[in-house]
């Protein structure tokens, strides 16, 4: 199975419903966001790109903290929802494929965030190259992603090295969001980040204790074992 573009556009309303439930539950119940925000620190006044912003969840959080946010996503239907959720127009939401160059913003952003996007991007090297070009010198890129090792542990895939293949997200499919991720190795992701001109500053393993996710019968994780399902990479453009 090979897809060159992902299909969030076809499931925008269902995806927005999932995010709304996450937002309503509060940041403290989100396994990733508290650590993500702690790592970001003070964002007020920072020219910030939310790369793969979806319906604007992270953009709204950062705008409330005083960041000057541009949210970009390839899915036009999600951008439409994002704009509707920001009636004051505080955030600049735009539709673009971030795997393609974005010359308007060359060396522009102080901070780039990308929350749970990288696994879903077909041309991940193009995506990181674009982010490298639009970050200013000294700017940061903070990415959260599904830990590529965890896809094996969780029974999503059987071969960690089957790089580039698309697989369905099973949990999201059950909620009507029939999208997929691309398996890539951590080695490939890191190589793409470094080739795009970033330097790695931190790698955070995000704990996902029992109960964070529905336990599946084919999980390789015995009851009581813990494994990080997500990670955060924090990088800097010298």
Ligand X SMILES: C[S@@+](CC[C@H](N)C(=O)[O-])C[C@H]1O[C@@H](n2cnc3c(N)ncnc32)[C@H](O)[C@@H]1O
For ligand X, the binding residues (CB under 6 A) are 6, 8, 19, 52-54, 57-58, 73-75, 78, 97-99, 115-117, 120-121, 127
Q: Provide, rounded to whole angstroms, the least separation between the CB of residue 78 and ligand X.
A: 5
Closer of 195 and 199 to ligand X (Cβ): 195
Q: Provide, rounded to whole angstroms, the least separation between the CB of residue 153 and ligand X.
A: 20
Closer of 78 and 204 to ligand X (Cβ): 78
Q: Provide, rounded to whole angstroms, the least separation between the CB of residue 165 and ligand X.
A: 16
Q: Which residues pair with 112 in a beta bridge?
A: 49, 141
Q: Provide, rounded to whole angstroms, the least separation between the CB of residue 97 and ligand X.
A: 5
Closer of 74 and 232 to ligand X (Cβ): 74
Q: Which residues pair with 140 in a beta bridge?
A: 111, 236
**Pairing verdict, β 68-73 and 135-146:** unpaired
What is the secondary structure of 6-63 as a DSSP string?
--GGGGHHHHHHHHHHHHHH-GGGSSSHHHHHHHH---TT-EEEEET-TTSHHHHHHH
Closer of 153 and 172 to ligand X (Cβ): 172
Q: How far is CA 124 from CA 17, 30, 84, in A?
A: 26, 25, 29
Rounded distance, CA 151 to CA 159, Å?
9
Residue entry with tokens 């190795």: 185
57: nearest Cα among 28, 27, 31, 98: 27
Rounded distance, CA 40 to CA 93, Å?
21
Do 71 and 92 form a contact (C-beta atoms < 8 A)? yes
Closer of 90 and 199 to ligand X (Cβ): 90
Closer of 73 and 86 to ligand X (Cβ): 73
Rounded distance, CA 179 to CA 158, Å?
19
Q: Provide, rounded to whole angstroms, the least separation between the CB of residue 37 and ligand X.
A: 13
Nearest residue (beta carbon) to ligand X: 54
Q: Provide, rounded to whole angstroms, the least separation between the CB of residue 80 and ligand X.
A: 12
Q: Provide, rounded to whole angstroms, the least separation between the CB of residue 194 and ligand X.
A: 20
Closer of 86 and 120 to ligand X (Cβ): 120
């Amino acid at each position: 199975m090979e897809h060159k573009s992902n299909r969030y556009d076809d499931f925008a309303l269902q995806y927005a419903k999932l995010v709304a439930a996450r937002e309503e539950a509060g940041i403290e119940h989100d396994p990733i966001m508290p650590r993500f925000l702690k790592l970001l620190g003070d964002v007020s006044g920072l020219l910030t790109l939310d790369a793969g912003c979806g319906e604007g969840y992270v953009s709204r959080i950062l705008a409330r903290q005083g960041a000057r946010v541009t949210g970009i996503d390839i899915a036009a239907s999600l951008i439409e929802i994002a704009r509707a959720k920001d009636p004051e127009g505080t955030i600049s939401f735009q539709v673009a494929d971030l795997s393609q160059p974005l010359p308007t913003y060359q060396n522009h952003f102080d901070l780039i965030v990308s929350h749970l996007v990288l696994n879903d991007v077909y041309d991940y090297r193009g995506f990181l190259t674009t982010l490298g070009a639009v970050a200013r010198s000294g700017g940061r890129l903070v990415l959260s992603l599904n830990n590529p090792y965890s896809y094996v542990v969780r029974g999503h895939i059987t071969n960690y090295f089957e790089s580039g293949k698309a697989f369905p997200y099973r949990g999201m499919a059950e909620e009507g969001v029939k999208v997929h991720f691309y398996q890539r190795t951590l080695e490939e992701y890191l190589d793409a980040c470094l080739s795009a001109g970033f330097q790695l500053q931190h790698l955070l393993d995000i704990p996902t204790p029992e109960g964070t996710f529905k336990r599946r019968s084919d999980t390789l994780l015995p009851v009581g074992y813990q494994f990080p399902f997500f990670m955060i990479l924090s990088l800097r453009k010298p």
